[in-house]
Structure 1
């Protein structure tokens, strides 16, 4: 997720209120360190009930924070995947947490070995502003399913949603299970320094580095879901009309304020103009009168809006070829139409920073090898969108391009699959949640070796002059 913040505010001491919340959660965990599957299912069913019973209030709160957020996008992009994710956990949790029998190896015979999954303790979750509900519920679901207690820090940029979520959590959950923290960047900085048993952060790469640094003071393990410039690559076997429709969905959903939105697209030489025209026609068809269309969302706040306008001003100043829906911007309501920039200079900010808005650079390439090299020369992205119906091309792109996740011939939807792990790679993040991987990430894989009354231990105890031991080692190390 894009952002200009370079450093957390300095925090001289840990606010006592935060420490008290952590102590309360830790005390609750210590009193019940291994919640039963039945208890965890009850937690998940309660979380589901919270969403279902208050969905209209949640839609209205998010709409208020954005100054215009499509209620249908909130349903599709937040409520639906959150509820589907909970249902998936309820269905499979018992199987994911089953004891995993392992081999102890020949040299430890006779014995048994297995791995069992235990809760970590207290998990911290730091939520961004762009999907303030789904990106709270997703890690919260995994943490509760794993048997942990949870503290959730909501974004200060969505105050209405944050206040509502805090109130609802307080109504539906005991503070011994889940608590919500609100506050500004200073509170976020202090929150990241708490000695959690695990910390999940979703946000920009720059802030992710600071969160990881703060967590390292307590050796707190982190899951970082960041962002970066996620590319799309259109092979010449794909009709531009099809690619344009699917790219448009990924770029304009939530007005492009999505960490896995396509950030630039590579197209065969000579097809950039045609792709831009097809996308612009599709935009005007999907969002007629977009300035007042309730299906189209506003930019979250003035700082983000001015950042996006700065990208456009720089591109215009550089003489870039640009197609856009007119009028291209409505400053009074933070509304920004679709902007397509064809072959911009690579030094522009729009090609250096994550865009996080309805702006899409279109880069033409000569051959597939050149396109692959272009992507590989840049930091590993959170998502990659290859468009090709040729299996050999698909396989080559999957093998040669590293990304946090891939959606072939579409955009965004890999995140909505409840059984697929979600996570970045390198500067786009580390660790996973969603599905089985999320529960296991927030559990301790506890290895157990069990010996019985009779063993061969005596053979390996000193003194090491025993002939049987020498013969055994000679045979094992042959």
Structure 2
């Protein structure tokens, strides 16, 4: 079935679904999805090993657990989220009753990326179903094993009039984006995000964009170097650095740079051994094109004077690039201009924290910013002086798993928020309902009289 026909089939049921898809039925569908995921655990592991060489532990903590947690959290809180909420009347609206009713937007599109192809397809689906929508999922063609797995899982687990998977490449995405979906949830690069937003504008669809950018790290003077190195090694090199919220580069006080790079080398060896190529804990790059891009960026930086502190080994056939750390990377190189999205970490020594903050604020707003510090004054200063999708203090990545926090970007790093209640809200229309009970409105209607003018004037004084 074509992408257009798939959309039309699901959209045809919107009116009936709005009435029939109760909270109880939504919970039942989510429970079936969770059961299907648990039953296919081995297949999920195999698919992600084939696509990205992901270790089993990484699959659990970054692909399966987030989706199951989202299901559990949504099912637990759904009754409260979906309940109409009374609001107090303002002075001008005395005598009315106001209610906000969350309603499903209708039929939605979820376009998933290749780097966390399972989690970032099914996580948004949980929110879409919790809000009462039908959904079309477009998995990434760059993770073909996981794409096929998602298609089979949805077909075997969820009602065909509720969720459909459309596989394919750019042409398929283009055809889907031409359909008048009620909401589009896209995860990917800022460049493609602009294409998605332009397509959504043609049908006036609302959008959630989870994009990316160069997420910086700042080490404050007095930071715990060993703990920072351990947290950064995990956050940067999980999934071979192919994480939208991975630390992109690190600003370190100049006096702390030798100790920090030494600690980072030690943590890489502890996590992945002397030869990460042989480590069962280290993932692989998605494909030859991405490998060539990263290798080119690394080679350019080294040719222009950067110093290799750790890693650097690469094997194209194995889609392998070692966890790599550089210092002295020139600012005009691609590593410093583009989102790296791979296991290469530039370390930048600084003398003046204010100059670092000015540099960060002069650039595009990142999806995440990470700060390692003990001094509360430094933490307060950096929190107030920077803008980012999220701020992690003495931690990396973990905010993605916190379902009571919104996850999303700002500016070029994204639009809108996801996870938990925020995901439910993204796929819902908050419909205001105003009921007139005994509001005094008649004297304010034409024909206007002297009394109307005096009443309007009195009301203006009352409210303002």
TM-score bin (small chain): over 0.9
TM-score between both structures, scaled by the size of structure 2: 0.96
Match of 1:339 in 2: 324
Q: Check conservation: 2:327, 2:348, Cα contact below 8 A.
A: yes
Is residue 14 of structure 2 the alignment partner of residue 33 of structure 1?
no
1: distance between equivalents of 2:277 and 2:47? Answer: 21
2: distance between equivalents of 1:225 and 1:19? Answer: 24
Q: Check conservation: 1:272, 1:342, Cα contact below 8 A.
A: no
Match of 2:185 in 1: 200
Question: Residue 308 of structure 1: CA displacement?
Answer: 0.6
Question: Residue 193 of structure 1: CA displacement?
Answer: 2.1
Question: Residue 101 of structure 1: CA displacement?
Answer: 1.4
Is residue 450 of structure 2 the alignment partner of residue 473 of structure 1?
no
2: distance between equivalents of 1:158 and 1:107? Answer: 56
- The match for 2:431 among 441, 446, 468 is 446
- Within 5 Å, give how 1:129-140 maps onto structure 2: 129-140=114-125
2: distance between equivalents of 1:129 and 1:30? Answer: 33
Unaligned runs of 5+ in 1: 1-15
Question: Residue 271 of structure 1: CA displacement?
Answer: 2.4
Superposed CA offset, 1:93-140 (max 9, x none) = 111222221233223331111111000000100000000000011110
Mean alpha-carbon deviation: is it higher for 226-235 or for 272-281? 272-281
Q: Check conservation: 2:155, 2:164, Cα contact below 8 A.
A: yes
1: distance between equivalents of 2:30 and 2:404? Answer: 16
1: distance between equivalents of 2:221 and 2:167? Answer: 49
| Coordinate RMSD, CA, aligned | 1.3
TM-score between both structures, scaled by the size of structure 1: 0.94
Question: Residue 466 of structure 1: CA displacement?
Answer: 4.1
1: distance between equivalents of 2:349 and 2:35? Answer: 49
Q: Secondary structure at the match of 1:477?
A: helix
Aligned length: 459
Match of 2:374 in 1: 389
2: distance between equivalents of 1:252 and 1:461? Answer: 67
2: distance between equivalents of 1:89 and 1:436? Answer: 8
Mean alpha-carbon deviation: is it higher for 190-199 or for 128-137? 190-199
Match of 1:284 in 2: 269
1: distance between equivalents of 2:407 and 2:73? Answer: 15
- The match for 1:61 among 17, 33, 47 is 47
- The match for 1:106 among 91, 96, 120 is 91
Q: Secondary structure at the match of 2:97?
A: strand
2: distance between equivalents of 1:50 and 1:18? Answer: 25
1: distance between equivalents of 2:261 and 2:362? Answer: 25
Mean alpha-carbon deviation: is it higher for 411-420 or for 124-133? 411-420
Q: Check conservation: 2:101, 2:431, Cα contact below 8 A.
A: yes
Superposed CA offset, 1:236-278 (max 9, x none) = 1212111110000001100100000000111102322332221
Match of 1:318 in 2: 304
Is residue 285 of structure 2 the alignment partner of residue 302 of structure 1?
no
Question: Residue 455 of structure 1: CA displacement?
Answer: 4.2
Q: Check conservation: 2:219, 2:371, Cα contact below 8 A.
A: yes
Match of 2:412 in 1: 427
2: distance between equivalents of 1:310 and 1:273? Answer: 26
Is residue 131 of structure 2 the alignment partner of residue 146 of structure 1?
yes
Mean alpha-carbon deviation: is it higher for 385-394 or for 411-420? 385-394
Match of 1:464 in 2: 448
Q: Check conservation: 1:380, 1:428, Cα contact below 8 A.
A: yes
Question: Residue 446 of structure 1: CA displacement?
Answer: 0.3
- The match for 1:406 among 382, 388, 391 is 391
Match of 1:176 in 2: 161
Runs of 4+ residues deviating >4 angstroms: none
Q: Secondary structure at the match of 2:305?
A: coil
Question: Residue 31 of structure 1: CA displacement?
Answer: 1.9
2: distance between equivalents of 1:175 and 1:125? Answer: 16
- Within 5 Å, give how 1:216-365 maps onto structure 2: 216-288=201-273, 289-325=275-311, 328-365=313-350
Q: Secondary structure at the match of 2:175?
A: helix
Superposed CA offset, 1:15-37 (max 9, x none) = x7111111111112222214211
2: distance between equivalents of 1:419 and 1:130? Answer: 24
- Within 5 Å, give how 1:39-50 maps onto structure 2: 39-50=25-36
